[in-house]
Amino acid sequence: MAKKILVVDDEERLVSLVKAYLEQEGFRVATARDGKEAVIVARTEKPDLIVLDIMMPEMDGYEFMRLHRKEHNTPIILLTAKADKDDKVVGLELGADDYVTKPFRPRELIARIRAVMRRAGETEPTAQILRHADITLNRESHSVRVGDSFVNLTPSEFDLLAVLMSSPGRVFSRLDLLDHIQGVAFEAYERTIDVHIKNLRSKIETNPRSPRYIETIYGVGYRFTRE
């Protein structure tokens, strides 16, 4: 069955344009005009991915993400007209997987959607399980367990952890990690990875301020500790 995309934006013309392109690419599309309506639509339609504007009336994209992330880990791509990188960082901290800056080309958005959905749904031909201390990552079931508890990771966080755990002791530069988790070229900046690492540590580390698993190698990047 075709994947369903929820497009949330208060600009009717933009929503119509994006909807037309997505349907042309074989996606099913649901729409909402603001975050408040999107909360209801997301619960009833259960989309596979959400394309979300930040600046909207009633409820903005940030508030929508705060509410939605309490219940779901649906991949989210932000649409933002803001050039300030800090605004994009806020979105990433709230759990967004990628962002597209307005104005954008529809083909670019579709490429981002396919890349994020590919990461969210990837499975290996055979079970591939990575273990380190009390962390277990299962690529086949796309799950992560810390001790006896499963933790909910966004697709980007899962992919980032899988890359790091696959080569304990290896130092990955931020550009290396960006290449692994994005899958398509975009206006990346190094702080994107820093935000994902911060979110990841908050979910898998006992003390994120003194991480046991993901080490910062200052001036270089990050590595997953060896046994």
Q: Read off the pTM.
A: 0.64
Strands 221-224 and 172-173: antiparallel
Domain encompassing residue 99? 4-121
98, 138: one domain: no
Write down which residue in 64, 93, 121 finishes a domain: 121
In the structure encoding, which two tokens stand for residue 70, read together? 């309490």
Residue pLDDT tens, the chain, 227 long: 678 999 999 999 999 999 998 998 888 999 999 999 999 999 999 999 999 999 898 899 999 999 998 888 899 999 887 656 666 778 888 888 888 888 888 888 988 898 888 877 654 433 378 988 899 999 888 899 999 999 999 888 998 999 899 888 888 888 778 777 765 444 445 678 888 999 999 999 999 999 999 999 998 889 999 86
Write down which residue in 55, 90, 121 finishes a domain: 121
Measured CA to CA, the distance from residue 153 to residue 199 in angstroms comes to 9
How many structural domains does the chain have? 2
Measured CA to CA, the distance from residue 198 to residue 188 in angstroms comes to 17
173, 91: one domain: no
Residue 27: closest CA among 52, 1, 2? 2
Which CATH number belongs to the domain containing residue 109 in this structure?
Answer: 3.40.50.2300
140, 214: one domain: yes
66, 167: one domain: no
43, 79: one domain: yes
